[in-house]
Protein backbone atom coordinates (compact mmCIF):
# COMPACT_ATOMS: atom_id res chain seq x y z
CA UNK A 1 0.00 0.00 0.00
CA UNK A 2 1.31 3.45 -0.96
CA UNK A 3 -0.10 5.48 1.96
CA UNK A 4 -0.82 4.01 5.38
CA UNK A 5 -1.17 7.04 7.66
CA UNK A 6 -2.82 10.34 6.66
CA UNK A 7 -2.42 13.66 8.53
CA UNK A 8 -5.41 15.99 8.19
CA UNK A 9 -4.68 19.52 9.54
CA UNK A 10 -7.84 21.01 11.05
CA UNK A 11 -8.57 24.74 11.42
CA UNK A 12 -12.40 24.55 11.56
CA UNK A 13 -12.76 26.68 8.40
CA UNK A 14 -15.25 26.01 5.59
CA UNK A 15 -12.53 24.69 3.23
CA UNK A 16 -11.42 22.36 6.02
CA UNK A 17 -14.93 20.95 6.45
CA UNK A 18 -15.28 20.57 2.67
CA UNK A 19 -12.09 18.48 2.66
CA UNK A 20 -13.57 15.92 5.07
CA UNK A 21 -15.29 13.73 2.39
CA UNK A 22 -12.12 13.39 0.25
CA UNK A 23 -10.09 12.52 3.37
CA UNK A 24 -12.60 9.90 4.50
CA UNK A 25 -12.84 8.41 1.03
CA UNK A 26 -9.05 8.28 0.61
CA UNK A 27 -8.84 6.64 4.02
CA UNK A 28 -11.46 4.05 3.06
CA UNK A 29 -9.98 3.36 -0.37
CA UNK A 30 -6.47 2.84 1.00
CA UNK A 31 -7.38 1.28 4.34
CA UNK A 32 -5.26 3.99 5.97
CA UNK A 33 -5.26 5.55 9.44
CA UNK A 34 -6.05 9.26 9.92
CA UNK A 35 -4.70 11.69 12.51
CA UNK A 36 -6.30 15.12 12.93
CA UNK A 37 -3.94 17.94 13.94
CA UNK A 38 -4.93 21.42 15.07
CA UNK A 39 -2.16 24.00 15.60
CA UNK A 40 -3.22 27.17 17.41
CA UNK A 41 -1.51 30.46 18.25
CA UNK A 42 -2.31 33.47 20.40
CA UNK A 43 -4.08 35.94 18.06
CA UNK A 44 -1.66 38.57 16.74
CA UNK A 45 -4.05 41.36 17.78
CA UNK A 46 -3.56 40.36 21.41
CA UNK A 47 0.20 40.38 21.31
CA UNK A 48 0.81 43.28 18.87
CA UNK A 49 3.95 41.55 17.74
CA UNK A 50 5.21 40.87 21.28
CA UNK A 51 6.85 37.62 22.26
CA UNK A 52 3.91 35.42 23.45
CA UNK A 53 6.00 34.37 26.47
CA UNK A 54 5.78 37.95 27.76
CA UNK A 55 1.99 37.59 27.98
CA UNK A 56 1.91 34.47 30.13
CA UNK A 57 0.79 36.43 33.16
CA UNK A 58 -1.85 38.37 31.25
CA UNK A 59 -3.58 35.68 29.17
CA UNK A 60 -5.22 32.48 30.32
CA UNK A 61 -3.21 30.16 28.07
CA UNK A 62 -4.56 27.04 29.79
CA UNK A 63 -8.12 28.19 29.24
CA UNK A 64 -7.45 28.95 25.59
CA UNK A 65 -5.79 25.58 25.13
CA UNK A 66 -8.77 23.80 26.71
CA UNK A 67 -11.10 25.64 24.33
CA UNK A 68 -9.05 24.56 21.33
CA UNK A 69 -8.91 20.97 22.59
CA UNK A 70 -12.68 20.92 23.06
CA UNK A 71 -13.26 22.30 19.55
CA UNK A 72 -10.92 19.69 18.06
CA UNK A 73 -12.62 16.85 19.93
CA UNK A 74 -16.03 18.08 18.75
CA UNK A 75 -14.76 18.16 15.15
CA UNK A 76 -13.48 14.60 15.55
CA UNK A 77 -16.78 13.36 16.97
CA UNK A 78 -18.85 15.02 14.24
CA UNK A 79 -16.74 13.99 11.24
CA UNK A 80 -14.42 11.12 12.22
CA UNK A 81 -15.93 9.28 15.19
CA UNK A 82 -16.67 6.15 13.16
CA UNK A 83 -13.22 6.30 11.53
CA UNK A 84 -11.35 5.96 14.80
CA UNK A 85 -9.20 9.00 14.05
CA UNK A 86 -6.71 10.31 16.60
CA UNK A 87 -6.79 14.05 17.46
CA UNK A 88 -3.60 15.97 18.26
CA UNK A 89 -3.32 19.57 19.52
CA UNK A 90 -0.16 21.64 19.03
CA UNK A 91 0.75 25.22 19.88
CA UNK A 92 2.79 27.26 17.42
CA UNK A 93 3.05 28.23 13.76
CA UNK A 94 0.61 25.93 11.88
CA UNK A 95 2.85 25.21 8.88
CA UNK A 96 5.81 24.37 11.12
CA UNK A 97 3.75 22.18 13.43
CA UNK A 98 2.16 20.29 10.52
CA UNK A 99 5.48 19.56 8.79
CA UNK A 100 7.28 18.66 12.01
CA UNK A 101 4.55 16.36 13.28
CA UNK A 102 4.33 14.57 9.95
CA UNK A 103 8.11 14.05 10.01
CA UNK A 104 8.48 12.92 13.63
CA UNK A 105 5.39 10.66 13.54
CA UNK A 106 6.45 9.12 10.23
CA UNK A 107 3.25 9.95 8.34
CA UNK A 108 2.95 9.18 4.61
CA UNK A 109 0.50 11.81 3.41
CA UNK A 110 -0.80 15.25 4.41
CA UNK A 111 -4.24 16.20 3.06
CA UNK A 112 -5.24 19.86 3.27
CA UNK A 113 -7.14 22.48 1.24
CA UNK A 114 -5.71 25.85 0.28
CA UNK A 115 -6.85 29.10 1.87
CA UNK A 116 -6.37 31.83 -0.75
CA UNK A 117 -9.27 34.26 -0.87
CA UNK A 118 -10.49 37.35 -2.73
CA UNK A 119 -8.22 39.35 -5.03
CA UNK A 120 -5.17 37.45 -3.79
CA UNK A 121 -6.47 34.09 -4.96
CA UNK A 122 -4.95 34.60 -8.40
CA UNK A 123 -1.47 34.89 -6.92
CA UNK A 124 -1.52 32.72 -3.80
CA UNK A 125 -2.61 29.26 -2.71
CA UNK A 126 -2.47 30.14 0.99
CA UNK A 127 0.65 30.67 3.05
CA UNK A 128 0.20 27.61 5.31
CA UNK A 129 -0.34 25.23 2.38
CA UNK A 130 2.59 26.75 0.47
CA UNK A 131 4.94 26.36 3.45
CA UNK A 132 3.84 22.78 4.07
CA UNK A 133 4.35 21.86 0.41
CA UNK A 134 7.82 23.41 0.59
CA UNK A 135 8.90 21.94 3.94
CA UNK A 136 7.14 18.58 4.32
CA UNK A 137 9.14 15.45 3.56
CA UNK A 138 6.07 13.34 2.81
CA UNK A 139 3.49 13.63 0.03
CA UNK A 140 1.00 16.52 0.23
CA UNK A 141 -2.53 16.45 -1.24
CA UNK A 142 -4.22 19.80 -1.69
CA UNK A 143 -6.83 21.56 -3.78
CA UNK A 144 -7.64 25.19 -4.53
CA UNK A 145 -11.22 24.32 -5.43
CA UNK A 146 -12.71 22.60 -2.38
CA UNK A 147 -16.10 24.23 -2.99
CA UNK A 148 -16.39 22.07 -6.14
CA UNK A 149 -15.63 18.81 -4.35
CA UNK A 150 -18.93 18.28 -2.52
CA UNK A 151 -19.52 15.13 -4.57
CA UNK A 152 -16.03 14.00 -5.56
CA UNK A 153 -15.83 11.44 -8.37
CA UNK A 154 -14.83 8.52 -6.20
CA UNK A 155 -13.80 5.87 -6.69
CA UNK A 156 -10.94 7.51 -8.59
CA UNK A 157 -11.13 6.88 -12.32
CA UNK A 158 -7.96 8.50 -13.67
CA UNK A 159 -4.67 9.69 -12.17
CA UNK A 160 -2.54 11.99 -14.33
CA UNK A 161 1.18 11.93 -13.54
CA UNK A 162 2.95 15.08 -14.79
CA UNK A 163 6.73 14.73 -15.16
CA UNK A 164 9.83 15.99 -16.93
CA UNK A 165 12.18 13.52 -18.60
CA UNK A 166 14.88 13.35 -15.91
CA UNK A 167 15.75 10.52 -13.53
CA UNK A 168 13.81 12.33 -10.76
CA UNK A 169 10.66 11.40 -12.69
CA UNK A 170 11.22 7.71 -12.04
CA UNK A 171 10.28 8.16 -8.39
CA UNK A 172 7.20 10.23 -9.25
CA UNK A 173 5.97 7.70 -11.83
CA UNK A 174 6.56 4.82 -9.43
CA UNK A 175 4.57 6.51 -6.64
CA UNK A 176 1.74 7.40 -9.02
CA UNK A 177 1.67 3.84 -10.32
CA UNK A 178 1.49 2.34 -6.84
CA UNK A 179 -1.31 4.73 -5.91
CA UNK A 180 -3.24 3.94 -9.09
CA UNK A 181 -2.94 0.27 -8.17
CA UNK A 182 -4.17 0.88 -4.62
CA UNK A 183 -7.10 2.96 -5.89
CA UNK A 184 -7.79 0.54 -8.76
CA UNK A 185 -7.91 3.31 -11.35
CA UNK A 186 -6.31 4.17 -14.69
CA UNK A 187 -3.20 6.32 -15.07
CA UNK A 188 -1.57 8.42 -17.80
CA UNK A 189 1.75 10.27 -17.97
CA UNK A 190 1.95 13.82 -19.32
CA UNK A 191 5.03 15.83 -20.30
CA UNK A 192 5.15 19.51 -21.30
CA UNK A 193 7.39 20.17 -24.30
CA UNK A 194 8.52 23.68 -23.39
CA UNK A 195 11.95 23.41 -25.04
CA UNK A 196 11.29 23.20 -28.76
CA UNK A 197 14.94 22.33 -29.34
CA UNK A 198 14.15 18.84 -28.08
CA UNK A 199 12.64 16.39 -30.53
CA UNK A 200 9.53 14.52 -29.49
CA UNK A 201 11.20 11.21 -30.29
CA UNK A 202 14.12 11.94 -27.94
CA UNK A 203 11.81 12.97 -25.11
CA UNK A 204 9.53 10.01 -25.75
CA UNK A 205 12.47 7.64 -25.56
CA UNK A 206 13.64 9.08 -22.23
CA UNK A 207 10.11 8.96 -20.80
CA UNK A 208 9.70 5.34 -21.85
CA UNK A 209 13.00 4.59 -20.11
CA UNK A 210 11.78 6.29 -16.91
CA UNK A 211 8.52 4.39 -17.17
CA UNK A 212 10.32 1.07 -17.55
CA UNK A 213 12.60 1.77 -14.57
CA UNK A 214 9.52 2.68 -12.51
CA UNK A 215 7.96 -0.63 -13.57
CA UNK A 216 4.88 1.10 -14.96
CA UNK A 217 3.32 0.79 -18.41
CA UNK A 218 0.69 3.43 -19.20
CA UNK A 219 -0.11 5.87 -22.04
CA UNK A 220 2.33 8.80 -22.40
CA UNK A 221 1.17 12.15 -23.79
CA UNK A 222 3.39 15.06 -24.80
CA UNK A 223 1.91 18.54 -25.05
CA UNK A 224 3.66 21.70 -26.27
CA UNK A 225 3.68 24.63 -23.85
CA UNK A 226 4.76 25.75 -20.40
CA UNK A 227 4.43 23.31 -17.51
CA UNK A 228 2.14 25.53 -15.42
CA UNK A 229 -0.30 25.84 -18.34
CA UNK A 230 -0.05 22.40 -19.92
CA UNK A 231 -0.64 20.38 -16.73
CA UNK A 232 -3.97 21.95 -15.66
CA UNK A 233 -5.27 22.10 -19.25
CA UNK A 234 -4.38 18.47 -19.92
CA UNK A 235 -5.94 17.35 -16.62
CA UNK A 236 -9.13 19.13 -17.66
CA UNK A 237 -9.08 17.65 -21.17
CA UNK A 238 -8.72 14.05 -20.02
CA UNK A 239 -10.97 14.40 -16.97
CA UNK A 240 -8.28 13.55 -14.40
CA UNK A 241 -9.48 13.06 -10.82
CA UNK A 242 -6.00 13.58 -9.35
CA UNK A 243 -2.78 15.13 -10.65
CA UNK A 244 0.49 13.74 -9.29
CA UNK A 245 3.68 15.83 -9.60
CA UNK A 246 7.13 15.57 -8.07
CA UNK A 247 8.65 18.46 -6.17
CA UNK A 248 12.05 17.16 -4.99
CA UNK A 249 13.75 18.13 -1.74
CA UNK A 250 17.39 18.74 -2.61
CA UNK A 251 18.42 22.42 -3.16
CA UNK A 252 19.24 21.78 -6.81
CA UNK A 253 15.64 20.65 -7.35
CA UNK A 254 14.10 23.97 -6.28
CA UNK A 255 13.98 25.36 -9.80
CA UNK A 256 11.93 24.05 -12.73
CA UNK A 257 9.19 21.96 -11.10
CA UNK A 258 8.97 23.67 -7.70
CA UNK A 259 8.47 27.04 -9.41
CA UNK A 260 5.43 25.62 -11.23
CA UNK A 261 3.76 23.66 -8.43
CA UNK A 262 1.79 26.58 -6.97
CA UNK A 263 0.19 27.69 -10.27
CA UNK A 264 -0.52 24.04 -11.12
CA UNK A 265 -2.41 23.64 -7.83
CA UNK A 266 -4.17 26.98 -8.25
CA UNK A 267 -5.38 26.22 -11.79
CA UNK A 268 -5.91 22.46 -11.63
CA UNK A 269 -9.52 21.28 -12.05
CA UNK A 270 -8.87 18.51 -9.52
CA UNK A 271 -6.74 17.93 -6.39
CA UNK A 272 -2.96 17.81 -6.78
CA UNK A 273 -0.68 15.36 -4.99
CA UNK A 274 2.93 16.52 -4.70
CA UNK A 275 5.52 13.82 -4.06
pLDDT digits (tens, 9 = 90+) for 120-149: 443 445 678 888 998 999 999 998 766 665
Q: Which of 182, 184, 187 is nearest to 1 (CA)?
A: 182
Q: Which domain holds residue 98?
A: 5-147
Domain final residue pick, 85, 118, 147: 147
Mean pLDDT confidence for 140-161: 76
CA distance 222 to 224: 7
DSSP, collapsed to helix, strand or coil, labels residue 195 as coil
DSSP, collapsed to helix, strand or coil, labels residue 205 as helix
Would residue 153 count as lying in a domain?
A: no
Q: What is the pLDDT of residue 180?
A: 95
Give residue-wise pLDDT tens across range 239-248: 999 999 998 6
Q: What is the domain count for the chain?
A: 2
State whether 138 and 25 are in the same domain: yes
Mean pLDDT confidence for 31-46: 82
CATH number of the domain that residue 62 is part of? 3.40.50.620
Would residue 211 count as lying in a domain?
A: yes
Decide if 142 contacts 151 (C-beta within 8 A): no
Domain final residue pick, 124, 147, 170: 147
Domain final residue pick, 147, 182, 216: 147
Would residue 152 count as lying in a domain?
A: no
Would residue 168 count as lying in a domain?
A: yes
Amino acid sequence: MEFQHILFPVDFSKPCEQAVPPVLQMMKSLGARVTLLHAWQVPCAWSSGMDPRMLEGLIDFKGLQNQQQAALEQFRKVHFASAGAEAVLRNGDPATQISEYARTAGLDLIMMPTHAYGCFRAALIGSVAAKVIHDALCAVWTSAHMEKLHSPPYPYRLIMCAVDDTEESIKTIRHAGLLAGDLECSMIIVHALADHAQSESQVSSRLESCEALAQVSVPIYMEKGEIATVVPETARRYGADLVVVGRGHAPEMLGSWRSHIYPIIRNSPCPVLTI
